[in-house]
Each structure stands twice: as C-alpha cells, then as structure tokens.
C-alpha cells in the first residue's frame, strides 16, 4: 500500500517537473504555432541564473527565492529578444522557426559552455528542502521529499497564474483572440505584434522557472535543455496543441505512468513503454487529448 | 479549424526527412573517420626535439566532472618529466582532445591523434564504453593507450596498459569488506552501460558463492537525473547496503534523491566505486558524508611520494583542488610509460611493450609494478569513508599490492563469467 502511494506521489512529482518544462512551451508552440527548439536553452538559462545567484548570495534558501523572479525575467527577456530578432519574421512559416530556433539553441549552448565552462555545475539545495516529511508513520512509513513538494507547489502556482492571466486579464483576452483568429484580432484594433512578444516573454519566463526547479533535481549543464525538450514536446502534442488543460493532464498521466512502469520494470524499459503508449494514443487521437475549435479560416 | 492543423502535411514530412538526413549524415561522418584508417600502422613522429603524446578525455558533457581532473593530472606528470630532461632526451608535447562524453567522438579523436598528430602514446578515457570504442582503433594502428580508471576487467588488449584497478583489486576487496562487516543484503544501482552491467554480474557471482543476497538491480541511462523511483525501490528493499556503479553526474541526482528519501549512511550505507574526491566536492558533502568508497588511492594516503604529488598538484591547479584515484593512476601512467620507453631505448610500441614487465614506479599510492603478461599493475585496495571536509579517510586496506587478475582466474566462483 505504502509502495503504491509512494510511487503515485513520485509519479505526480515527475509530472510536476514535466508540467513545468512543458508549460511555457504550450504558450509559444501551442498558442503561437512557433516550434521553439531553444525553449530548452531558456530552461538552462533559468538554471544557470540560480547558480549565479547562489554564488553571489550567501543563503541557499534566499538565493532560491530570489532566483524565481530573476530567472523568469532573464529567460523571458531572452525569449522576447529572440521573438523580436528572428521569430516575428517567420510567423507564417512555422517549420522555418524549427530550423532557426534550433540554430539559436546550439548557439546558446555554446555560449553557456564559454561562460560557465563545459563541465556541469551544481547548486546546493536549501537545508530545509533536502529532507522529507512523513505522511504516514509506522513500520513502513510513507515519506515525501520536501524538494519534490516544492516543485509540485511551483508547478501548481505556475499553472494557476498562467490560467488566470489567460482567462481574466485584458492581455489574456488579447492572446486568446490572436490565437483564435489573428486577422480578426488585428482589425479589431489589437496590436498582434505586441501580443506575440508578450506571450513569448511569458512562455520563455516560465521556462526560466522550470530551470530553477531542475536545479533541485540534478546538475546544471549546457546540454540540460536538449535532455528535456523532447519530453516537453511530447506532453504538448499528446495534450493537444495550445491546450493548457491537456498539458496539465498529460504531464501528470505520463509522470505516473513512467513511475509505475519504472517500479515494475526498469528505467529504460519504462521509457520505451511510455513512448509506445504515446504512439498508440496518437494513432487513436492524432490531434491530441483536446483540440481548439475556432471559426478561424487559417 | 485548429491553428495546429494548418501545417501542410507534405512540408512536415519534407522537413522531417531533411532533419533525419542531417542526423544520419553526421553519424556516418563519425563512422568513416573512425574506421577509415590505412592498412599500415602510422609510425609516431619522433624526428624532432619533441615527442608528441595524446591526451584523450571528456572535457564537456556528463563525464567532464571527472575527466577534466585526469587531463590536469596528466599535464602535471608531463611537465615534471619535461622539467627533468624529458624522455630519451626529447621533451613531451601533449596534444589534448575532447571526447565530449560521446563514444564515437572518442574513436574519431583517437584516430586523429594517431594518424594526424602521430603521437607516440595516448593517455586517457574514463568510461568503459569509451575504452571499448577506441580499443579497435589502437589495435588496428598498433598504437598504445594508457587507461587510468578502475574498470570491470574481463578484457585484455595488446595495445592497452591498464593502470587503474581491475575487479580483483577493487570490487572484490569491497565485497570482502562488506561481508566482513556483516552487510549481506545488497542493492545494486548503476549506469546503463558496460562497466556497471559487467561489474554487477561479478557481484552477483560473488554473492552467490559467499552467502550474500542481491535484493535488486537497477540501471539508469548515463546522464539520467530522475532517481526518485530507484530511491523508492532501494528504500523498500530494506537492504543492508547499496553497491553504486553510477558514473558521472548522475551521482548528483542519485544522492540528492537518496537523502530526500530519508536514507542515510547509517541506515543504509552506499559503497561507490566511481566517486572520488573531485566528485565529492561537486556533489556536496551534505549528501555524501559518511558514505563509503572503494579505490586504490586517496588524497589522504600516507607516503612521501603522495605528499609531493598533492603539493605539486595544488601548487599548479589551486589549493582547493583535491587529488583522486584516477588522477593518481593517470599521473603514474605517464611515469610508467617514460620508464618503459627508457628501458626499451625506443618509442616503438612493440619494443615498449616488450620492456614493460617488472617496471616499477614509486607512485603516490605506493610502489607499483607492471605485470607484463596482463599489462595491468599491482595495486593496493583501499576502502574509505567520505568526511565532512570532502576528503576520504581510509578505513581499511589490503595490506599490500594485489596482483592483477583481470579474468578472475584465481576465483572459483568467477569461472562462468569470462
């Protein structure tokens, strides 16, 4: 029983990591139709931001808290810059964005290698996050790691803020209008160029937050973005492109699936089985879990 | 209509095909480079005042955490030899190449060092996968590789000198130690490639013959950072100890998760065979203090040769830089090569090999002797406990150098392994 509960929690925590890395991408890829291969490098930028802040601020706990807004701004600014320099010229050529942003991702990796050195680096987790809390005591206790709870909280907070921004704010309404019908939005007086850039800023900023979370799990290196980008794309595609709801559900389902399969088989076999499940699912529903219905002619 | 389905299907396919083609081409490129050697072995270039040697280490990627230190140590040894007059009157000129934690790259760079740079010998590699990748390159070109890291044994190449431990000098003594302490139920965790899988086969055979139980065996892909499930499995198994053959900075993620799961060096000690002082420093003592390691050398190993080595290394690379077992074996390998070359009176690999048997060196780990037939060296096994200062304190040693036995011929339980 404890094992099942423990594994479910592990699955949820893997799901939370997946959700964080996919969330920003669901905005830039899903809502804006830009295949941003550099998204992983924005995650890396967030992680290195945490590292730099930890080097300059003494307390690990404080530096982590400071890192969250700073990483959001750093990665967001990188994203906005990328949008302004390159992507805005390519909105009608979605597949070209793949090649361009792939090039940018390679350049960012090399930049990180030149600035921080090729070997991976680590941050120290705040003492409070290295322990665990006991949910069920007794001879066979169920414990959950504090760092994982923190990441889960972070994921929930990020999803909530994104959902509220999209639903309740004027900016969110404008983003949704542009997604559903770009031309109509434009003639209604919405500056689509500004909306695009802001959406890109938000999506990339969320990548920065994911980078902060990943420093609690493993090492920080120039190629850490490439390691997670495939998972992020999988979550978005299976969830239904542009669908926040689908992203959230699929992230947690894949996380739990991965952890349950990993427990009963091995890490590598579980990875294969998850991919097979995804392929089978996409045969059945090529459009993903959810799809957006609009009257747009595009 | 959904904005997503506005991708024209044909363009998607075309792009996908182009992408696949690029990937396939780059893979081919690596292959032809590695395999496209000439029939005849290229002679090393020793015509000038210098002799070139190759340094082949991962300076980037998941293994860089470990291998950069080996490169630094090799350079130290080369500088020392150059300062004292070189080898056969020639100064050593190191050519450093980055294997990038990627096995095809290792093969490609080995080929480049032998063919283009015409090095007299090459020092480096860490993972067994990289060694297996370069082995045919060195054999085909009849050029020498000095390999400085402990490994899984069961291998013998005429063109490789193994200066790290083989299993009977590290893993078997570690198991003897655990058995002696009454820790008989083990859980095995390793990276998913040749060294951990072979090492764990040996551990399984040992356990069966010595009344120990293996409760579970788990592998994570090299570079993997998701260890929550493995930590849960290890915890649920209630083992006495964990035998850890993870390589590179997967260890960072593993030990973070291990501590998060509430497991400690007291409740379930971990014996690691691939974490040395440099890795301890970057993983963090908050995760590692109290855990065990099995090696042949620690920075704290006593002896005048080690005092000199530690002092020289710190003077060159910084007082906060620790020395470790693979660094020591790498340092020793350059000095052993020098001694072999001088005994042979030639840089020719065949003559160097012929001169190798019985060569000794007063190494930081104690005096080592080359065993000609196996091309391994006699080494002392040492178990250490990681301290809060990041150094490893010796808690047990084998009392003297152990003769190398890469195929475990002297152990009856190992008869089915090779």
Chain A: nearest CA to B2, how far in angstroms?
6
* Chain B CB within 8 Å of residue A187 CB: no
For the stretch B287-317, pLDDT in tens is: 999 999 999 999 999 999 999 999 999 999 9
What pLDDT score does A126 carry?
Answer: 86
Position of tokens 């490639």? B193
Token look-up 């620690």 returns B298
Q: From the CA of B250, how many Å to the nearest CA of chain A?
A: 8
Share of chain B above pLDDT 70, in %: 90
Confidence of residue B32 (pLDDT cuts 50, 70, 90): very low
Determine contact: B2 vs chain A, CB below 8 A: yes
The 10s digit of each residue's pLDDT in A43-95 is: 999 999 999 999 998 777 889 999 999 999 999 999 999 999 999 888 778 78
Q: What percent of chain B has pLDDT over 90?
A: 74
- The arithmetic mean of pLDDT across residues B95-119, rounded, is 95
List B residues 144-163 in contact with A (Cβ-Cβ < 8 A).
none
Q: pLDDT grade, residue A125 (50/70/90)?
A: confident
Residues of A in contact with B232 (CB under 8 A): 3, 6-7, 10, 263
Question: How far is Cα B187 from Cα B312, in angstroms, rounded to an integer?
Answer: 39
* Least Cα separation, residue A131 to chain B (angstroms): 5
Interface membership of A173 toward B (CB under 8 Å): no
Q: What are phi and psi of B393, to 5 degrees?
A: -100, 130
Tell me the pLDDT tens digit for each residue of B229-253.
999 899 989 999 999 999 888 898 9
Q: Which of residues 35-74 of B touch A (CB under 8 A)?
A: 59-62, 64-65, 68
ipTM at complex level: 0.81
**How distant is the alpha carbon of residue A146 from its chain centre?**
20
Q: Do A223 and B230 touch (CB under 8 A)?
A: no
- Check CB contact under 8 Å for A113 and B60: yes
Chain A hits for B219, CB-CB cut-off 8 Å, are 266-268
pLDDT for the residue numbered A294 = 60
What's the CA gap between B238 and A291, in Å, rounded?
A: 47
For B12, the closest of A13, A95, A124 (CB atoms) is A95
> Which CATH number among 3.40.50, 1.10.3470, 1.10.15, 1.20.140 corresponds to the domain A1-119+141-297?
1.10.3470
Higher-scoring residue by pLDDT: A78, B36: A78
CB contact under 8 A, B260 and A130: yes
Residues of A in contact with B6 (CB under 8 A): 33, 94, 298
Confirm or reject contact between A219 and chain B (CB < 8 A): yes
Q: What is the pTM of this model?
A: 0.82
**How far apart, in whole angstroms, are the C-alpha atoms of residue A200 and residue A77?**
9
B2 neighbors A287 (Cβ within 8 angstroms): yes
Q: Do B7 and A291 touch (CB under 8 A)?
A: no
Q: Find the CB nearest A132 among B3, B60, B262.
A: B262
């Amino acid at each position: 029983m404890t094992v099942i509960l423990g594994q479910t929690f592990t699955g949820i925590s893997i799901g939370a990591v997946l959700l964080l890395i996919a969330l920003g991408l669901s905005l830039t890829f899903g809502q804006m139709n830009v295949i941003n291969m550099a998204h992983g490098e924005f995650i890396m930028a967030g992680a290195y931001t945490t590292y730099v802040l930890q080097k300059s601020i003494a307390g690990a706990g404080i530096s982590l808290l400071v890192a969250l807004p700073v990483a959001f701004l750093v990665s967001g600014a990188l994203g906005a810059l990328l949008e302004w320099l390159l992507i805005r010229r390519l909105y009608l050529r979605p597949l070209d964005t793949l090649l361009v942003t792939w090039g940018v991702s390679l350049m960012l990796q090399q930049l990180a290698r030149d600035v921080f050195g090729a070997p991976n680096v680590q941050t120290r987790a705040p003492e409070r996050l290295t322990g665990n809390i006991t949910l069920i005591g007794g001879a066979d206790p169920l414990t959950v790691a504090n760092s994982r709870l923190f990441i889960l909280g972070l994921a929930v907070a990020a999803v909530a803020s994104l959902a509220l921004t999209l639903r309740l704010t004027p900016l969110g309404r404008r983003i949704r209008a542009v997604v559903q019908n770009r031309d109509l939005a434009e003639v209604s007086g919405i500056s689509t160029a500004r909306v695009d850039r802001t959406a890109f800023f938000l999506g990339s900023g969320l990548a920065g937050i994911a980078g902060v979370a990943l420093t609690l799990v493993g090492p920080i290196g120039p190629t850490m973005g490439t390691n997670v980008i495939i998972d992020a794309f999988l979550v978005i595609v299976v969830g239904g492109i542009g669908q926040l709801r689908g992203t959230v559900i699929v992230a947690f389902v894949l996380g739990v699936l991965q952890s349950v399969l990993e427990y009963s088989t091995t890490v590598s076999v579980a990875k294969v089985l998850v991919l097979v499940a995804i392929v089978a699912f996409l045969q059945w529903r090529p459009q993903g879990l959810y799809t957006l219905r609009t009257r747009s002619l595009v | 209509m959904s904005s997503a389905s506005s991708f024209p299907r044909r363009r998607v396919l075309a792009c996908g095909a182009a992408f696949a083609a690029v990937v396939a081409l780059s893979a081919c490129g690596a292959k032809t480079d590695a395999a496209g050697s000439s029939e005849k072995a290229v002679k090393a270039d020793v015509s000038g005042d210098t002799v070139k040697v190759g340094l082949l280490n991962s300076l980037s990627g998941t293994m860089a955490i470990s291998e950069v230190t080996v490169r630094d140590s090799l350079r130290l040894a080369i500088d020392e030899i150059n300062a004292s007059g070189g080898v056969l009157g020639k100064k050593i000129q190191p050519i450093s190449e980055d294997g990038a934690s990627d096995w095809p790259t290792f093969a490609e760079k080995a080929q480049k060092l032998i063919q283009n740079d015409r090095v007299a010998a090459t020092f480096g590699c860490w993972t067994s996968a990289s060694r297996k990748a370069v082995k045919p390159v060195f054999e085909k070109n009849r050029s020498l590789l000095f390999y400085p890291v402990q490994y899984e044994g069961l291998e013998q190449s005429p063109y490789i000198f193994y200066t790290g431990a083989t299993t009977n000098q590290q893993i078997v003594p570690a198991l003897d130690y655990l058995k002696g302490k009454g820790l008989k139920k083990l859980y095995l965790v390793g990276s998913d490639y040749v060294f951990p899988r072979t090492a764990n086969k040996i551990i399984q055979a040992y356990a069966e013959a010595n009344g120990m139980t293996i409760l579970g065996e788990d592998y994570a892909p090299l570079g993997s950072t998701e260890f929550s499930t493995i930590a849960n499995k290890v915890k649920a198994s209630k083992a006495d100890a964990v035998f850890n053959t993870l390589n590179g900075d997967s260890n960072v993620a593993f030990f973070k998760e291990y501590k998060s799961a509430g497991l400690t060096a007291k409740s379930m000690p971990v014996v690691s065979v691939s974490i040395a002082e440099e890795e301890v420093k970057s993983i963090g003592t908050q995760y590692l203090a109290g855990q065990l390691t099995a090696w042949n050398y620690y920075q704290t190993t006593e002896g005048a040769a080690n005092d000199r080595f530690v002092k020289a290394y710190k003077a060159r690379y910084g007082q906060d830089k620790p020395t470790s077992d693979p660094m020591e074996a790498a340092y020793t390998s350059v000095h052993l090569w020098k001694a072999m070359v001088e005994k042979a009176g030639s840089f020719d690999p065949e003559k160097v090999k012929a001169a190798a048997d019985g060569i000794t060196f007063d190494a930081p780990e104690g005096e080592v002797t080359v065993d000609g037939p196996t091309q391994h060296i006699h080494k002392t096994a040492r178990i250490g406990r990681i301290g809060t200062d990041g150094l490893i304190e010796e808690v047990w040693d084998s009392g003297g150098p152990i003769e190398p036995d890469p195929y475990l011929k002297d152990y009856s339980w190992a008869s089915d392994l090779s």
